Amino acid sequence: MDKEILRRQKQRITSLRSEPSGSPEFTAWEAQTERAIIQVFGAESIELKQFNGIHYFRQAVSPSTTPEDHERYFQYGLSKAEALLDSFVEDLDVTRGEDPKYERLTCPFCKSINPEYLETKEVKQTDYDAAIKFMGTDGGKHQRTLEFTSLYKCRICKSVFPVEVRLPEKTGKSED
**0.85 surpassed by pTM:** no
Residue 31: pLDDT over 60: yes
pLDDT digits (tens, 9 = 90+) for 137-152: 444 444 444 556 677 7
Strands of 160-165's sheet in order across: 116-122, 148-153, 160-165
Length reported for the chain: 176
Confidence (pLDDT) at 165: 56
What confidence category does residue 123 fall into, taking pLDDT thresholds of 50, 70 and 90?
low
Task: Give dist(CA 102, CA 96) in Å, integer.
Answer: 7
Helices and strands, counts by H and E, the chain? 5, 3
User: 2 with 89: CB under 8 angstroms?
Assistant: no
pLDDT digits (tens, 9 = 90+) for 42-81: 888 889 999 999 999 877 778 887 888 888 889 999 999 9
Residue with the larger pLDDT of the pair 152 and 5: 5
What confidence category does residue 104 fall into, taking pLDDT thresholds of 50, 70 and 90?
low
